Structure 1
Amino acid sequence: MSNPLVSKKWLLARMYEPHMVIADCRFQLGAPEAGRAAYAESHIPGAIYLDLESDLSAPVAEHGGRHPLPDPEVLAKRLSQVGISNDSVVVAYDDQGGMNASRLWMLLRWLGHDQVYIMDEGFSAWQQDGYPVTAEQQVVIPSSFQPALHDELIADVNYVRSAIGNPDVLLVDSRESPRYLGQTEPIDAKAGHIPSAINAFWKNNLDDTGKWAPEEQRRAGLSEVINALDAGLEVIVYCGSGVSACPNIVALHSLGYFNVRLYAGSWSDWISYPDNPVATGRE
């Protein structure tokens, strides 16, 4: 199954299969305990909880951005603790348009695990449709996850520096337009974008209800990126901290495009180096 997106009905039909692990990835920036509290109140039966900052990111340091790429061995240990093995089929969900679920999807693929999917829509839609929910947290039987890194899926700051102005590489900024243009910056210390990057806001992959949009809309929103990939270019996607870039990568995969790297540290890592150039306005 190459499409990373699965429906609520697909998950409902398979949620009790022995190799299935459902991962609740709800998280709110600025309210770091809200996701875990929401999980404790109600979640899909059998789901485990993975926290964006404590589980799916390394501790913040001078470089690496606001959500640094976790140490692969530390992440693999955590995945083992919550019952994810190399044989598991993982389905992630959140209530943030797939942003945090996509982060887990990306990290698992980086660790060499391809049997990972994202539930279309989110927990609220699951609940509103009358699908089963619970506050019960079942006992998790630890497993063993052995990582096999695919470093070709990740770009670091040096790789991105070499990509600026390279005609064989397209840099894609996934943030909303005012942040890309440098008109406003509500989170990070500097406004603007990496020179030569184009803008493709990640929420363009969603429809008005927050559900993943039909294929034609995803394709239209990423048309400039798709044209570059069709021409044989490599694509590097980034955002503010390496989280909201992931839905763009998911969307490209859902359309059959795989030659894409994540700049894991993203803008918040880029500006932690004073000599890195910053651009504003449209490219």
Structure 2
Amino acid sequence: MTITLISVSDLAARLAAGQIDHGRLRVFDLRHDLMDHSVGRRAYGEGHIPGARFLDHETELCASRTGKNGRHPLPTPEHLASLMAAHGVTPDTLVVAYDASGGQYAAHLWWMLRWIGHENVAVLDGGWPAWSAAGLATRSGPAQSLAPLPKAKPRGSLAGSVDAVAVLANIDKQDFVVVDARAANRYRGEVEPMDPVAGHIPGALNRPNTQNLEADGRFKSPAQLRAEFEALLGGRAPQEVVHQCGSGITASHNLLAMEIAGLAGSRLYPGSWSEWCADPARPVAKG
């Protein structure tokens, strides 16, 4: 059975059983700060879940930026597959991702791995704060060196994506609905701390990804998430939904929340607002 979320108690039990030593488990620390890119690696060095390996969203999980392809353009599937192989991930390895931001960075890795055909991936519910609050063991310093596996290839996509051309055409065609995961004031165009243009894609709905979580940073129940997304989508099927945010990260959180809710099959616009607004010919809505 494929899982999308894993509890701290379940992960602790797997670690105690030596699943990392046997190659059955890999844990990745995705802590990050969009305003200070050194935060995640520094936090990892100070303390992390035993056996966890750090991944950097700005370098390892991102392709070269052109100024037109967004703040976090996707790497090639081949690059991502080889990166995972370098960390000892096989097709049978359970990958667990965590962060300290409600799961938004972990969810992005979750989506990226499904994008290259790795289904056995889950997000740690509650992330680093939940692990720390439980008083579980931590480690500091660098990760243990591993002998890399042979160069890997992606196995075929389990997650769909769309590009800016399709999103632009859809404004008239309306084959799908875009759901914007950014904060409401950014969606309305009142503020824009990250990108040069404020506003949203015309016709997009707004679902801030923070609404997927309880006050303790864990995901809401599947039933509650399903009710909330169904109310937002007004009867549209998951396959008619495309998620978007600033650069594809928090949009993955909404996509994961729909999966948790049993609403599988929605897609991601990876370039998101940072790519969209880089072309002044693309329309912008406010309010």
State TM-score, norm by structure 2. 0.92
- Residue identity opposite 2:149 in structure 1: S
For 1:171, what is the secondary structure of its paired residue? Answer: strand
For 1:245, what is the secondary structure of its paired residue? Answer: helix
Aligned residues: 280
Q: Distance in 1 between matches of 2:3 and 2:88?
A: 24
**1:10-56 superposed Cα distances (whole Å, 9 cap, x missing partner):** 11111221210011111111111110111111111111111111111
- Residue identity opposite 2:205 in structure 1: I
Spell out structure 1 runs of 4+ moving beyond 4 A. Answer: none
Aligned match of 1:241 = 247
Aligned match of 2:53 = 48
Q: Distance in 2 between matches of 1:100 and 1:228?
A: 29
**Which has the larger displacement, 218-227 or 238-247?**
218-227
Aligned match of 1:203 = 210
**Which has the larger displacement, 89-98 or 135-144?**
135-144
Report if the CA contact (8 A) 1:170-1:225 is conserved.
no
1:178 aligns with 2:181: no
For 2:179, what is the secondary structure of its paired residue? Answer: strand
Q: CA deviation at 1:119?
A: 0.5
**1:124-178 superposed Cα distances (whole Å, 9 cap, x missing partner):** 2202211111115222231243202328611111111122143431111110111
Q: Mark the CA change 1:20 to 1:255 in structure 2 (over 3 Å): closer, same or farther.
A: same
Q: CA deviation at 1:83?
A: 1.4
Report if the CA contact (8 A) 2:222-2:262 is conserved.
no
Q: CA deviation at 1:72?
A: 1.6
- Residue identity opposite 1:13 in structure 2: A
Report if the CA contact (8 A) 2:226-2:262 is conserved.
no
For 2:250, what is the secondary structure of its paired residue? Answer: coil
Aligned match of 1:213 = 220
The percentage of counterpart residues that share the same residue type is 39
Q: Distance in 2 between matches of 1:3 and 1:100?
A: 18
Q: Distance in 1 between matches of 2:249 and 2:128?
A: 19
Q: CA deviation at 1:214?
A: 2.4
Structure 1 unaligned segments of length 5 or more: list them. none
Aligned match of 1:89 = 94
Q: CA deviation at 1:121?
A: 0.3
Report if the CA contact (8 A) 1:238-1:266 is conserved.
yes
Structure 2 unaligned segments of length 5 or more: list them. none
Q: CA deviation at 1:71?
A: 1.6
Q: CA RMSD in A?
A: 1.7
- Residue identity opposite 2:245 in structure 1: C
For 1:28, what is the secondary structure of its paired residue? Answer: coil
Aligned match of 2:175 = 168
Q: Distance in 2 between matches of 1:20 and 1:2?
A: 14
